[in-house]
Structures are given as structure tokens and as C-alpha cells.
Amino acid sequence: MSGAEPEPDTAPVGLTWRMYVERLAERAGGWTALAEELVRVVGEKAELPEDLLSIEKGLRRLARRGNAPGGQYGRWLLRHLGVPEDIERWARWLSQYHRRFADLPLTLRLEQLRLWDRPPFAESRLAAWTHVGLASVHLRRREDAVARLRLERARDAAARAGPAAVAEVALLDAYVATNDGNRAAAGSFLEVAARATESPELDVDDRACLEARLFGQCAYHLTSPLPGADADVLGAQALFSSIHRGLELPFVAFRRDNGLAYCAWKLGDAVGALALARSAADHAGDGGFVRFRVLALNLIARMTPDPEEARVVRERAARLARSIEDEELLAAATRGMGGRKT
């Protein structure tokens, strides 16, 4: 991905009230300055103490609350001063499907996201990110009931977190609805995602990745229609061809070439399809995306006319799927291997 992606070793592990309040105090120029800023942004109607010393003491008490509910001072700070941009960026990185964090083993992803599923972050306008990240993990662990509950919470909170969160939640909603066989609901969610990706608030990289995901899901509806409808492979091919080419982000390039490979294969261009699938695997490798390399390898195994290559590629894909504890990908990788899933 681009340089805008935060480096994991420089980002906080979870967020406590002390980390949050001290960051705000540092930004304001000290505790007294933070108290003055709170008075200014909250306004006269709030029931703040009249003297700055009492307000400063209240802020220092809040900083000692760890991950307990923040009370009135916590609500004031979160509502009026928000969450620092670098912390918001890190929380987004933890939860987006197209980020490398989603390639870590599911157990580790779950542990990390749980550190953010508590105050102060859970009380902020950004809580949707934690909910959608946890929904994604539970889906991949095949824990359907808790995944759907988290997704519902994410949907309720997404608008407050901004258009990137709205798109993220809508795309996951569409994926679940598609798997349920509810194409009408999936289509509605995809329309929500499409509107969100048009927001000027999105940065260039996020927009490109979200659009690539959107086009990929729309294309799936064309290549895998409901019973009784005809597949529209040419329409899907047009969608994949329209995926952004200027930035050449590894995820975007993977999504485009992998989709085009499948369409070429279905249209009878076996040689071109295999070349595109290999290109998709390379793009996934360039970005460090284990999940997407598995998907590309699975496609190569289906396409190659060489049985030995198919066997070797499937075994490689299965090893990668096991490394990130992804049962869904493992099932796909071992399909055609005589049921070998361990």
C-alpha cells in the first residue's frame, strides 16, 4: 500500500484514557491549556466548574480511569475534541479488508481488536471501525451469530465514523447478504457503498481500494447470477477493466487482474487467463497480502492444464491459508486435493 498506511510498530496497542488525555494536553500546550480549550469548545451552557483548577483536576482524574467509562469529562472531550488523526488512522488500518493487518492470524486479529473495543475508543464516534473489524474476524471464524451482531452495531455507528466506515460496513453487509442468497439486499448495500466511495473526504488510496472491492462484488453478481438468470461475463469483464490503473496499488492491481483472469477463462482465453492469474498472484505478493495470494493461487490451480502444477499450487495455497488460520480459504484451497484439510 501507499506511504499513508501507518507502521504497526509505531502505533498504540489499544487506547487508554491516560494516552488519550495526555495526547490532548500535549497538543493544547499543557493541562491548564487543555482546560481552557475545553471551556471554549463546550460553551457556557455546559455544567463545567467555574475555575480552571477544578476542571484540570477533573481531566487528571479522567486520565486515571484506564479503560473504564469516561463519564461526563470523557463525553465532553470525545464530542468536542475528537480522536487524534493518527489514532483514527491506526484504528482504520486494523479494520479494513484491504489492509495487511487482515492477513494476520485470526486469533491475533481478534486479540488486537478487543483492545480497542473498550473506552475511550468504544465511546468515540469511531466505534464502528472496531465493530466491523470484529464482524469480519468472526465471519472468517464461522461464528455467524456474533458476527451479525457486530455488523449490526457497525451499521448503526458507521455514519458517525465517516464515509470510509460507511463503505466498509456496506461492503461487508453486501457480502453477507450475497452469501444468504438475498441479492436485493446485497444490491442495496452496494449502492450505499458506491455513494460513500464518491465522498471527497476519502483519500485517494482508500477510494481506489474501496472502488476495486465494490466493482469486484458487483462483478460476482454478474458471473454468478441466481438460478434461472444468465451470467454476464462480458459485463463483469468491463467492470474489472474499469478498476483504477493510475496508482497501481498492489491490492487494486490484484483485484483487477484476478477478476480479469476469471473472466478471460470463462470466455475461453485459457492462455491469457493464466497469465493474468499469475500477475494477480505477483501483485498480492508485492503487497504482502497472504489472503489474496491464496485466492490467485487457487485460480491458477483451476486453470493450469498441468496436473502436477495444480497439485503443487494447491498445497502452497493451503499452507498459506493455515498460516493465517482462515478456514474459509483453507476449504477453497484443499478442494480437489482429496479432502486433505490438515
* 265: CB partners within 8 A, 6+ apart: 273, 274, 277, 299, 302, 303
Averaged pLDDT, 177-193: 97
pLDDT, residue 45, reads 65
Q: Where are the alpha helices (DSSP H) in 96-249?
A: 106-116, 127-140, 144-161, 163-179, 183-197, 204-223, 233-241
In this predicted structure, the answer to whether residue 133 has a pLDDT above a threshold of 60 is: yes
What is the SS3 assignment for 9? helix
Mean pLDDT of 68-73: 96
Note the pLDDT tens digit of each residue in 223-232.
999 999 999 9
Per-residue pLDDT, 341:
32
Q: What is the pTM of this model?
A: 0.91
Is the per-residue pLDDT at 138 higher than 50? Answer: yes
Using pLDDT thresholds of 50, 70 and 90, give the confidence band for residue 265. Answer: very high
Measure the CA dihedral 121/144/210/330, to 10°: 120
| Residue 2 confidence (pLDDT) above 60 | no
Does 151 have pLDDT greater than 80? yes
pLDDT at 1 over 50: no
Q: What is the mean pLDDT of residues 290-318?
A: 96
Give the per-residue pLDDT at 14: 82
Residue-level pLDDT at 7: 46
Tens-digit pLDDT profile for residues 17-58:
999 999 999 999 999 999 999 999 997 767 888 899 999 999
